[in-house]
């Protein structure tokens, strides 16, 4: 679940690890974007989206949303666990800082500067130069596949990213859908290749570990299903999702139920 189509990278990662998994994708176009909302409002909407997915009796729920994980994970776990394990998405600050930095963290305004993100920086990036870069409008632009708005938001964030940054944390799952466009904007001439850290692969692997399932990329895909819930309503993958490689991959592997 997510506020928008930022769940596509995690869903695609699960599909690659377990091609035989049935997937339920639940997001909230009626409430987009979540970033400017209050923590209380984010939690209310996140729980509604999570419960819409839970009604389909999945084995595990991936909260493929940094903003929801920052503000709502305890409330969702209190509501759904232990009957449904809930896996949150944490900005990849720990592996990014392990490289020594300097590090920039691109995230929504709701996540940037939050006590949660600051706590991760203090815990895992002690002694590393870390710059938090708020990216207003980028998640919404990606959600709507608005190329002009995506380019403008990326250019704005890139202009506020220090030139000596060697590692960039994608602190919003939507950003992983435009990772190479971000890399191109931030990469400086004459500098070493920029290292990007997303979360989709790690979150997918953790979800499988939580339910005791081993990865099996060669598993049969026969009869697998893809259920799409838009603010609780069953639907098909919207055209905006199909603007991205991950959305096209999911549609190609499984029919939408």
Structure tokens at 137: 């409008």
Provide the CA 181 distance to its chain's centre, in angstroms: 16
- Cα separation, 143 vs 33, in Å, equals 9
The answer to whether residue 135 is catalytic is no
**Residue written as tokens 């503000």?**
71
Q: In what order do the strands lie in the sheet with 167-170?
A: 130-134, 103-107, 167-170, 195-197
Catalytic hit among 50, 64, 168, 172: 172
Cβ-based neighbours of 57, under 8 Å, separated by 6 or more: none
- Cα separation, 50 vs 47, in Å, equals 5
Q: Which helix (H) or strand (E) holds 130?
A: strand 130-134
Catalytic hit among 24, 65, 86, 90: 65
**Residues paired with residue 122 on neighbouring β-strands, in sequence order:** none
The answer to whether residue 65 is catalytic is yes
Q: At what angle do helices 66-80 and 39-54 cross, to 10 degrees?
A: 60
The dihedral built from the CA positions of residue 27, 31, 32 and 34, taken in this order, carries a sign that is negative
8 Å CB contact between 197 and 168: yes
What residues are labeled active site? 65, 172
């Amino acid at each position: 679940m997510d506020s928008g189509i930022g769940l596509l990278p995690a869903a695609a990662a699960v599909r690659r690890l377990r091609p035989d998994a049935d997937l339920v994708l639940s997001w909230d176009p009626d409430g987009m974007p979540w970033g400017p909302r209050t923590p209380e409002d984010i939690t209310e909407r996140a729980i509604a989206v999570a419960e819409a997915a839970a009604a389909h009796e999945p084995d595990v729920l991936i909260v493929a949303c940094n903003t929801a994980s920052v503000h709502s994970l305890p409330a969702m776990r209190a509501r759904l666990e232990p009957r449904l394990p809930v896996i949150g998405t944490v900005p990849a600050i720990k592996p990014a800082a392990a490289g020594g930095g300097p590090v920039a963290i691109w995230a929504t305004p709701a996540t940037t500067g939050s006590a949660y993100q600051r706590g991760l920086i203090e815990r895992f990036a002690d002694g590393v130069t870390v710059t938090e870069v708020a990216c207003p409008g980028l998640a919404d632009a990606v959600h709507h596949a608005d190329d002009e708005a995506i380019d403008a938001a990326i250019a704005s964030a890139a202009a506020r990213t220090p030139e000596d940054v060697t590692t960039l944390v994608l602190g919003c799952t939507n950003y992983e859908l435009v990772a190479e466009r971000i890399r191109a904007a931030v990469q400086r001439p004459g500098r070493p290749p920029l290292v990007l850290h997303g979360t989709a692969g790690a979150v997918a692997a953790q979800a499988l570990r939580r339910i005791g399932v081993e990865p099996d990329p060669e598993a049969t895909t026969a009869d697998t299903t893809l259920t799409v819930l838009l603010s609780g309503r069953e639907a098909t993958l919207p055209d905006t999702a199909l603007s991205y490689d991950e959305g096209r991959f999911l549609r190609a592997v499984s029919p939408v139920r």
